[in-house]
């Protein structure tokens, strides 16, 4: 049963597209400086017309980038900071093809009433809207079955809300291909293992004596070991999210912020470097699950295209599930351009527990 609508490519035999000129480029004057009138990309399927008359899609699509042609004639989406002097940058503002760039916003709409289940879920965000856990579970199982690349973007509330064990289950069972988080997620996860508390509180939410320093002791223990991986190898960290990532060889990117204590030695404190490390995973993503983190969800959402190319070459909508107890976050993510995001308004503990049960039922039913 399909969970996403089929993609309908543009009709490039249309007279206006046949007559359209090739995209115009202007050399970048300096590293990181774009020519006036540069074309700003979206996260929707985009085609660029070359001098040979062919319309092709740029590689590594994302919003808030520019179109650059390399020496071999291949089109790429690049962040402005990555553009180098002399790079051929596309200029123009029209998205309808008349300037050699076509943004195909209607490719996943299909015929009236032909939307797939996932597209149907992307209606108005509301806490009163029922959550189709079976559909989300089916997506996760399908991604694993066909070797997809599912990103999980998590906030520390996932650790505090006792959803930690469920995320460990998803990691150990192959439903997480990369974990994108901040310092706090790793710190409080390791604190739970090393000290037995999260933010100094017990599993029942009761404060402990000296609990305000518990996370600092966890950070210090890992810094003494040298890294999270070393702490696992030395037997200091024996369970939890970060332990599961290390043991199961699931890559993780911990991006730093001004709020961080420590931070852990694995945290990337250079924001541009953290973006680059995150981007290495978003360009491979075929699904994304974002839980209880506003800024991180929006940041990763800005790097995600609304689609991906399947191994058979067909374009598919990129399922993006955003979970938060507040309607504000999931609405904000869509407002910032992540059009494909499905908002799930609930708390992290309930979502993770119910989703795990739904995935287990889905697997049993397919057996």
Q: Phi and psi for 163 in degrees, rounded to 5?
A: -85, 0
Q: Average pLDDT in the 142-167 region?
A: 92
Q: d(Cα 169, Cα 355) in Å, to the nearest integer?
A: 11
**Cβ(190)–Cβ(198) under 8 Å?**
no
Question: Could you report the per-residue pLDDT of 238-259, keeping only the tens digit for each?
Answer: 999 999 999 999 999 999 998 8
pLDDT number for residue 4: 58
Q: Is 346 exposed, middle or buried (0-12, 13-18, 19+ CB in 10 A)?
A: middle
pLDDT number for residue 128: 58
Q: d(Cα 307, Cα 60) in Å, to the nearest integer?
A: 11
Q: What is the CB-side half-sphere exposure of residue 84 using CA atoms within 13 A? A: 3
CA–CA distance from 173 to each of 3, 51, 141, 153, 316 (Å)?
22, 48, 10, 17, 25
pTM for the structure as a whole: 0.90
pLDDT confidence band for 113 (50 / 70 / 90): very low
Q: What is the β-pairing status of strands 341-345 and 315-317?
A: unpaired
pLDDT confidence band for 210 (50 / 70 / 90): low
DSSP assignment string, 122-137: TS---TTSPP-HHHHH
Question: Could you report the per-residue pLDDT of 315-359, keeping only the tens digit for each?
Answer: 999 999 999 988 877 777 777 767 778 888 899 999 999 999 999
Q: d(Cα 305, Cα 9) in Å, to the nearest integer?
A: 16
């Amino acid at each position: 049963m399909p969970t996403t609508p089929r993609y309908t490519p543009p009709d490039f035999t249309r007279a206006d597209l046949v007559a359209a000129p090739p995209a115009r480029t202007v050399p970048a004057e300096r590293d990181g400086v774009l020519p006036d009138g540069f074309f700003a990309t979206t996260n929707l399927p985009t085609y660029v017309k070359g001098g040979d008359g062919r319309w092709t899609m740029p590689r590594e699509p994302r919003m808030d980038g520019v179109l650059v042609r390399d020496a071999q004639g291949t089109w790429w989406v690049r962040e402005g900071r990555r553009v180098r002097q002399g790079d051929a940058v596309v200029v123009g503002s029209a998205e309808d093809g008349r300037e050699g760039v076509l943004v195909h916003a209607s490719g996943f709409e299909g015929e009236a009433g032909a939307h797939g289940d996932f597209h149907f879920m992307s209606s108005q965000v509301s806490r009163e809207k029922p959550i189709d856990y079976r559909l989300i579970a089916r997506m996760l199982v399908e991604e694993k079955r066909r070797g997809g690349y599912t990103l999980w973007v998590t906030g520390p509330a996932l650790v505090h809300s006792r959803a930690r064990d469920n995320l460990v289950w998803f990691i150990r069972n192959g439903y997480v291909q990369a974990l994108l988080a901040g310092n706090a997620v790793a710190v409080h996860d390791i604190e739970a293992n090393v000290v037995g508390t999260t933010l100094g509180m017990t599993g029942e939410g009761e404060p402990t004596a000296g609990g305000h320093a518990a996370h600092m002791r966890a950070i210090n223990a890992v810094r003494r070991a040298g890294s999270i991986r070393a702490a696992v190898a030395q037997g200091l960290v024996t369970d939890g999210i970060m332990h599961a990532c290390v043991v199961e060889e699931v890559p993780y990117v911990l991006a730093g912020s001004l709020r961080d204590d420590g931070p852990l030695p694995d945290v990337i404190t250079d924001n541009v470097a953290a973006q680059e490390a995150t981007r290495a995973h978003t360009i491979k993503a075929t699904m994304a699950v974002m839980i209880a983190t506003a800024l991180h969800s929006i940041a990763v959402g800005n790097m995600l295209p609304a689609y991906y190319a399947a191994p058979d070459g067909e374009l598919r909508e990129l399922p993006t599930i955003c979970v938060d107890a507040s309607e504000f976050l999931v609405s904000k993510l869509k407002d910032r351009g992540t059009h494909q995001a499905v908002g799930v308004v609930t708390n992290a503990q309930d979502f993770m527990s119910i989703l795990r049960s739904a995935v287990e039922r889905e697997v049993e039913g397919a057996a």
